[in-house]
Structure 1
Amino acid sequence: MRIAFLTAPEGVEQAELTGPWQAAAETGETPQLISTRPGTVRSMNHLDWGETFPVDATAEQASPEEFDALVLPGGVANPDALRLDEAAVAFARAFFEAGKPVAAICHAPWTLIEADVVRGRTLTSWPSLRTDLRNAGATWVDEPVAVDDSGPNTLVTSRKPADIPQFNDAMLREFGKVAA
Structure 2
Amino acid sequence: MTASLHGSRVAFLVAPEGVEQVELTAPWRAVGEAGGNAELVSVSSGPVQAFEHLDKADTFTVDRLVDEVGAADYAGLVLPGGVANPDMLRRHEAAVRFVGDFFRESKPVAAICHAPWMLIEADVVRGRRLTSYPSLATDLRNAGAHWTDEQVVVDSGLVTSRSPADLEAFCAKLVEEIAEGPHRLRSRQTERTG
TM-score (norm 1): 0.96
- Matched residues in 2 for 1:141 and 1:21: separation? 25
Asked if structure 1 preserves the Cα contact closer than 8 Å seen for 2:70 and 2:101, the reply is: no
Cα distance, 1:40 vs structure 2: 1.3
Cα distance, 1:63 vs structure 2: 2.2
Asked if structure 1 preserves the Cα contact closer than 8 Å seen for 2:128 and 2:146, the reply is: yes
- Matched residues in 2 for 1:31 and 1:63: separation? 15
Instruction: Select which of 115, 118, 135 maps to 1:108.
Output: 115
- Which stretches of structure 1, 4 residues or longer, exceed 2 Å deviation after superposition? none
TM-score (norm 2): 0.89
- The one-letter code sitting in structure 2 at the alignment partner of 1:39 is G
Tell me which residue corresponds to 1:165: 168
SS of the residue 2:181 aligns to: helix
SS of the residue 2:177 aligns to: helix
SS of the residue 2:125 aligns to: coil
Using the TM superposition, name which of 119-128 and 168-177 deviates more.
168-177
Where in structure 2 are the equivalents of 1:143-158 lying within 5 Å? 143-149=150-156, 154-158=157-161
- The one-letter code sitting in structure 2 at the alignment partner of 1:65 is A
Say whether residues 1:85 and 2:88 are aligned partners.
no
- Matched residues in 2 for 1:119 and 1:171: separation? 21
- Matched residues in 1 for 2:128 and 2:70: separation? 25
Say whether residues 1:127 and 2:134 are aligned partners.
yes
Tell me which residue corresponds to 1:71: 78
Tell me which residue corresponds to 2:185: none
Aligned sequence identity (%): 58
- Matched residues in 1 for 2:70 and 2:51: separation? 27
Tell me which residue corresponds to 1:3: 10
Unaligned residue ranges in structure 2 (runs of 5+) = 1-7, 183-194
Tell me which residue corresponds to 2:178: 175
Cα distance, 1:88 vs structure 2: 0.4
Using the TM superposition, name which of 112-121 and 61-70 deviates more.
61-70
Asked if structure 1 preserves the Cα contact closer than 8 Å seen for 2:15 and 2:85, the reply is: yes
- Matched residues in 2 for 1:42 and 1:88: separation? 18
Cα distance, 1:62 vs structure 2: 1.5
RMSD: 0.9
Unaligned residue ranges in structure 1 (runs of 5+) = none
SS of the residue 1:60 aligns to: helix
- Matched residues in 2 for 1:32 and 1:95: separation? 15
SS of the residue 2:27 aligns to: helix
Instruction: Select which of 16, 20, 32 maps to 2:23.
Output: 16
Tell me which residue corresponds to 1:42: 49
